[in-house]
Structure 1
């Protein structure tokens, strides 16, 4: 029995964003179509000429029958009689030349039309995807905590591609069919308005049928887009955790989970398909009825005269033209359902795209903000408070000062808020109250690029991009030369192992650096920070997941990196921060102790108890500390479950 993955219910993960979007397709054309209106206008005009020329052969054929074969009316009255040959054979050749010319000229306009629509759609697709990604990467970290990678990939890939298909194929077909229907309708009414009315009897029925189809299919496509996001999320999750799956022997379990979410996509898609496969055959039947009526009534009219209440004459050539054009008139009416089908898909996708792009960011940068100027690198937290919502504070009353060049260590139990405090310095989040200042400058009033240019970050969870070792070291400092890269690697204790790699600094590290060990990835990350040469450095448990020997090497490189820099360090291994100039102890989001290592051990408080845990003095710990630790752990587990 399989278990459904998290966030794989019937809800759309972007439902809240979609609900705030009005007239998504209008917004699409307004924001992105204007800059490429030239291609669109060229495509529309070329489409008009192309479709008119496509109608020329049946019209010429009908005129040829009446003027060349029967000789009962002037041939091509819209041309000067002086250019029309007098003999029937010459007229026939002349007509053939006109038909050939219409094909050649029509092909040229078809090419121009396709160029215009493809250029229009491709430019918009490119801009929408890049703008959506740019918006996505600038959102707050709490947004990414509630959305899965696969769901966001679905927007950047599937939804944007669906827009491109509508803008190219859908709009192309819409203009093509509109011109065809309008031109044929006008011509049929000019030739014989009575038979034209009969030919168009199915049009109101088709319009009503299409309206009902739109109302039925729209919610189905919303379900399909949601299920695609769930499917992508599950696949991305499983491929990212393939090692855990293999070592846990859970291939069958994960296959069942993929089967569940794939079944959800199948059900949603099949619901839309069942509506489509009923709609289009029904349209063809309705359209066919109109064609049969035209054929029967028109045939009787030519053979025996006007039937029933019809009056006037209908020549054979006119009837042939009527039959050929009416078929081209009725079938396009049915194809409008396909266009509406594509439109509804594109509309659902555009709502997800603009819903994401309209997502507000909690970090608002003043366009007139100043550049951060760092001299000493002194940092002050002035009674800072932060929470994901107004009611619950994650950290509060955070108040400390770090002089330039000093090291401050943040210590505390899991969930105490240590990482959150330092993310406020990087403005991953903005404070709700209080202020964070660097050399007296409130960081909320400086530009984000200048702030993050002066702050380096080394994380426990080292991320390496697919590429070479050198490309990962220079990430963020792209203009660095090889000599600077080597110097940074040497300072990070990484140069020796890099030289031993198959291609040295040009070695591909694989997806997320999978070809390297954890310690090697960590030292490359440190080399990246050294190359950046920031005035302020944040170390977030940089040595917690490596062995003792690797920790020694990393610690040596960190000592070089932190020299003469303002440094913030988070560490569970208290031995790595015992020499810090100041240690701040957090518990439940508040500062409970502060001082040097010796001072805090002498206070015999939380820090001293944490030190005792790592020293193996479990039996000597007070009962109160153990009870509070158990309660804290239970709270952390409950938050993880939520």
Structure 2
């Protein structure tokens, strides 16, 4: 990896506070404000209908209880007369209770009235359920569209990040943020938003009904709210760091798996499987510990709130019974209130349970926001230079660059490559050869100096315009899952079948492709499975040729091919680089003997330049490199 700043999400990085991150996450729902307004309206209607249920069931209880008591009283008397008789007999408590009831002495239960009430309650619950399903359906649409926009934004952000970011960020951790963390945010929003809305409005509706029935009992029920808030806040405060660590270690585990998978052959060849396994076990144990602590601590919220609710229920039942006995409340009202008190604690319990998921989702959102907040590459010019850049003359003037400002890689380098010429860049490892072409591609921005193509500063044209005129073949080949034909056509999506075949023949892909089961329709995967390393390199060369660029960059492009294939590629490049400026980075000096200009670099500076014969005559750095390589071949 190149030296750089701290890796986002790496150990030691501090997560943002919960509230700003939650607020920022919820702001993502702003485009769905109309849908959210409809959802809230549906939730309110559904909650109101559900809230009316216990009150109406209390009415049904009163009808049953009044009928049962009325049947026990002597017929022919009014309720007032019966109450007076009870008081005369000294049964004041029974008289007080009877005075609050709607009884007719000698009359039993009015089952028709009870049936009407029950049917009304059933209708309310059915309508509430339909409204509840509808709000859940709309909320699912709103959240999925929001997460889709978030994924799009992250994907677009990745394309705007400079190469420096990917040099310093572990690939597995970045993938974990883009996949696992986004999925976790989606699941958290889907599971919490609906429940939180329903629970919030349910609490409000139940409070209104409880105060309507009995302000005294309502105040007793509210005693658990401060305690529940304090308990939830304290537990959530202690669980949040563990949720942050959970997703951080998830990224590290993904990094370990990704490294072990891509480097499986090397790990096996060097017998380092046990060491890699131990490293994975260590990170997996860290993930286990963080996940266990996060789930265990946050899992205390629900039992704590349920305990507070049960204690509160005891007090409500006791006081409510006394109020019925004194005639201040009916039995149905107390029953309804007890139902409300249980329903009141239930949404609080659900809110506590949702805090668990919300903490996890916000922790993932913070990791995603770190990518979205990362410094982007410098913007393209608003007005692009109108001068053509098709001839391919490249000029480096006093170029300086360093991955770390304290450690420059290239210092005040000047170089001119004329159109149609082949410029070979050689030198020891770390001399700055690959960095030079990376600067030409604007993968990195210069610290000083300018690079011009056809006398046009490359910073005055867009990166797409610049890179469309440059073909690049790297030492590390990259192929995507698809057919060989599709991989070649990647260099020019509008190319015809004839053009694809011509590029394949020029790069000698056609020489081996007919030996494959399906020819050009043979499927290869991301790692190039099914073809050899040299054949993969030939495919990437054909892809670059198909792009027909003004400038061709070959960065150790023949390092993975055999001697015969290397000779064929040299002949192909000799024909294809006509009228095209070519930069060739090579360690095999035998491949660049016919270069128009050979540039020898060392420690970021050009120490020699000239043709192959001239540099050998000077007996300098190139002479030493050539003889060392020639001697190695002889040995």
TM over 0.5: yes
Counterpart position of 2:159: 137
Counterpart position of 2:66: 70
Q: Does 1:341 align with 2:344?
A: no
The answer to whether the 8 Å contact 1:457/1:537 transfers is: yes
Q: Does 1:53 align with 2:49?
A: yes
Distance 1:88 1:387 in 2: 91
Counterpart position of 1:447: 462
Q: Which of 29, 36, 61 is 1:33 aligned to?
A: 29
Q: Does 1:146 align with 2:143?
A: no
Distance 1:582 1:169 in 2: 65
Counterpart position of 2:568: 553
Counterpart position of 1:503: 518
Distance 1:202 1:18 in 2: 32
Structure 1 portions without partners, runs of 5+? 1-6, 74-86, 306-311, 621-642
Distance 1:128 1:371 in 2: 36
Tell me, what secondary structure is at the counterpart of 1:456? Answer: strand
Q: Residues 431-470 of structure 1: matches in 2 within 5 Å?
A: 431-470=446-485
Give how far 1:177 is off.
0.3
Counterpart position of 2:75: none
Distance 1:586 1:21 in 2: 51
Aligned-CA RMSD value: 2.5
Counterpart position of 1:426: 441
Q: Residues 110-121 of structure 1: matches in 2 within 5 Å?
A: 110-121=132-143
The answer to whether the 8 Å contact 1:20/1:355 transfers is: no
Counterpart position of 2:189: 167
Distance 1:10 1:565 in 2: 40
Give how far 1:121 is off.
1.2
Distance 1:25 1:250 in 2: 43
Give how far 1:21 is off.
11
Q: Which of 283, 290, 293 is 2:312 aligned to?
A: 290
Counterpart position of 1:245: 267
Q: Which of 558, 565, 586 is 1:571 aligned to?
A: 586
Q: 1:326 to 1:219 in 2, by over 3 A?
A: same
Counterpart position of 1:105: 127
Counterpart position of 2:39: 43
The answer to whether the 8 Å contact 1:14/1:355 transfers is: no
Q: 1:501 to 1:20 in 2, by over 3 A?
A: farther
* TM-score relative to the length of structure 1: 0.88
* TM-score relative to the length of structure 2: 0.88
The answer to whether the 8 Å contact 1:19/1:355 transfers is: no
Distance 1:281 1:263 in 2: 27
Q: Deviations over 1:414-449 (max 9, x none)?
A: 100000001111000011111000111100111011
Q: Report which stretch shifted further, 507-516 or 369-378.
A: 369-378
Tell me, what secondary structure is at the counterpart of 1:616? Answer: helix
Counterpart position of 2:612: 597
Q: Deviations over 1:541-592 (max 9, x none)?
A: 1011322122223223322332221111100001111111111110001111
The answer to whether the 8 Å contact 2:7/2:168 transfers is: no
The answer to whether the 8 Å contact 1:174/1:339 transfers is: yes
Counterpart position of 1:616: 631
Give how far 1:186 is off.
0.6
Distance 2:491 2:583 in 1: 21
Distance 1:299 1:55 in 2: 22
Q: 1:260 to 1:528 in 2, by over 3 A?
A: same
Distance 2:19 2:57 in 1: 49
Q: 1:283 to 1:500 in 2, by over 3 A?
A: same
Q: 1:159 to 1:486 in 2, by over 3 A?
A: same
Q: Does 1:323 align with 2:338?
A: yes
Give how far 1:232 is off.
0.6
Tell me, what secondary structure is at the counterpart of 1:427? Answer: coil
- How many residue pairs align between the two structures? 592
Q: Which of 74, 91, 99 is 2:113 aligned to?
A: 91
Distance 1:236 1:263 in 2: 18
Give how far 1:187 is off.
0.4
Q: Report which stretch shifted further, 408-417 or 540-549.
A: 540-549
Distance 1:509 1:457 in 2: 21
Q: Which of 24, 28, 39 is 2:21 aligned to?
A: 24
Q: Report which stretch shifted further, 168-177 or 107-116.
A: 107-116
Distance 1:15 1:45 in 2: 44
Give how far 1:350 is off.
1.6
Give how far 1:27 is off.
2.6
